[in-house]
Structure 1
Amino acid sequence: MSIRIQYDPDFACKRWIGYFDLLGMKQLYKSGDPISIFLALSKSIEELQKRATAWEDVGYAWFSDTIIIYTKDDSACSFTVIDNITRWYFYFLISGGVPVRGAVACDKFYSDKKNSLFFGEALIEAYEYGEAQDWIGFLLCPSAVKQLEELDLHAEKRLNYVYTDIPYKIEHDKFLDHLPACLVGNWVSENPIIEKLKDMKSRIEKEEIKNKYDRTIKFLETNRRKNFNIDR
């Protein structure tokens, strides 16, 4: 008996989508340590399920070290949901020693959870901006910034984001250089994520990877002092 997947227009709409790429998995694969790989991925997925299922009408999916989270629509309420889930998930991953980069977009997205069929402009944009970053970072894509403006929830007024020059891995002409990036851990005066990143960096040998950590640490330290008026 053949199975035919039918296109359902109800599955296609403009949504908020969060994209995460867990870094360092390649090194774990090369180490030949399946237990470490399993623990890193299983803990990440368990936390994803915990956070996503705590809210109504939130979908999620993963394949290996790639994770997506999406909402039912592009409303202000749905942004509150995706913002809460993605920022805390970003915090959880780094706190657990898992380096990650990611992005939030808002555009057309087709989601057929039953058949694991996902595609659309939102996913493409979030993927491209997520993969292009050359640090441990999480940003709002241009489509997300535009939608926030239309909802009168301007990105520059968000307490947990600040506009900055995004470091990219390669020369480009397709990405915007100046976008809002997440100030992970910035809700407390002493940001524990900074020390965690320094600890993670101390275990890295390759200079190019250390530089990724340095960029993130500098970004968080600079903006922590700005927001909390701390002289160090």
Structure 2
Amino acid sequence: MHPSTKIESWKDDNIRFIGFMDIMGFKDLVTRKSHEEVKYMLNTLVSLNKSLESVFGKPNVKTADREKIESRIRSVTFSDSIMFFSQDDSLEDFLQISYALSIFQEASLQSGAPTKGAISLGMLTADFKNSVFFGQPLIDAYLLQDQLKYYGIVADNKVEEYIIDKNRKLEPGEPRVDRAFVRLKTPFKSGSILHYNIHLDSVSGEQLENLYKSVSGESRKYVDNTIEMFNLMNKK
């Protein structure tokens, strides 16, 4: 048997990143669509979560006949909320959860089931065995995304401080830590506020325009703002 190579296992209690995502218009979806259609949509998003966990995993134990993957990014779904957790607050995990959230957000927009969310950082319990999840970062991410007025993902002040600190310590020629983000005036319910946003670039204009088909009145402002933010993020 080959000697095993161990990588730090998941800690239930740790300083980590959390991405809190909310499926927009979930109650309306349940009302307008059949039970099977809603179930299919949710299963699609959950399947994407599991795929992302595999993509952002790494070998934990190797033997002669098997390889166990210990993902550094895990997720859990509660009704219309999806939460992503990193293993810790390392730069590696920050980059991985940032890219995972970007892929998930773009996929949700492309599927016609848009989400919005926020990413926070701090001491948090993510006990998957006993389904126990709590901590100030979870509350902070939930409250911040609730104020967001477009289909996107915004970073809170703790994550912004982390980005600034890591960028300050970079050696010459090293890539910036915030390469998955764009700092823009961001639409909130209270007005336009400067924040770091997850960069969206793999969604087509047609896919964004299609979002108008499912909303009317005030809810369309989310689509207006999303298209405007997408254009600003990808301005040449």
Kindly state the Cα deviation for residue 48 of structure 1 after the two structures are TM-superposed.
0.6
Name the counterpart of 1:195. 206
Question: How has the CA–CA distance of structure 1 residues 85 and 157 changed in structure 2, closer, same or farther, with 3 Å as cutoff?
Answer: closer
Name the counterpart of 2:142. 127
Q: Percent identity?
A: 20
Q: Please report the RMSD computed on the Cα atoms of aligned residues, expressed in angstroms.
A: 2.1
Conserved? CA contact 2:167–2:177, under 8 Å: no
Q: Does 1:71 align with 2:50?
A: no
Name the counterpart of 1:161. 181
Report the secondary structure of 2:204's partner residue: helix
Name the counterpart of 1:116. 131
Q: Does 1:41 align with 2:42?
A: yes
Name the counterpart of 1:50. 51
User: Between Structure 1 and Structure 2, which shows a larger proportion of strand residues?
Assistant: 2
Question: How has the CA–CA distance of structure 1 residues 82 and 32 changed in structure 2, closer, same or farther, with 3 Å as cutoff?
Answer: closer
For residues 73-92 of structure 1, the C-alpha deviation after alignment (integer angstroms, 9 at most, x for no partner) is 10101111111211111111
The aligned runs of 1:214-225 (5 Å cut-off) are 214-225=224-235
Report the secondary structure of 2:167's partner residue: coil
Kindly state the Cα deviation for residue 157 of structure 1 after the two structures are TM-superposed.
6.6
Q: Aligned partner of 1:100: which letter?
A: T
User: Whole-Å Cα distance in 1 between the matches of residues 19 and 232 of structure 2?
Assistant: 25
Report the secondary structure of 1:158's partner residue: coil
Deviates more, 1:26-35 or 1:80-89: 26-35
For residues 41-84 of structure 1, the C-alpha deviation after alignment (integer angstroms, 9 at most, x for no partner) is 11000111111133123221111110111111101011111112
Question: How has the CA–CA distance of structure 1 residues 192 and 58 changed in structure 2, closer, same or farther, with 3 Å as cutoff?
Answer: closer
Q: Does 1:104 align with 2:119?
A: yes
Conserved? CA contact 1:16–1:107, under 8 Å: yes
Name the counterpart of 1:208. 218
**Structure 2 residues not aligned, in runs of 5+:** 1-10, 58-70, 171-175
Question: How has the CA–CA distance of structure 1 residues 129 and 107 changed in structure 2, closer, same or farther, with 3 Å as cutoff?
Answer: same
User: Whole-Å Cα distance in 1 between the matches of residues 86 and 49 of structure 2?
Assistant: 14
Conserved? CA contact 1:105–1:141, under 8 Å: yes
Conserved? CA contact 2:20–2:118, under 8 Å: yes
User: Whole-Å Cα distance in 1 between the matches of residues 49 and 209 of structure 2?
Assistant: 25
Kindly state the Cα deviation for residue 205 of structure 1 after the two structures are TM-superposed.
4.5
Report the secondary structure of 1:136's partner residue: coil
Q: Does 1:179 align with 2:195?
A: yes
TM-score normalized with structure 1 length? 0.81
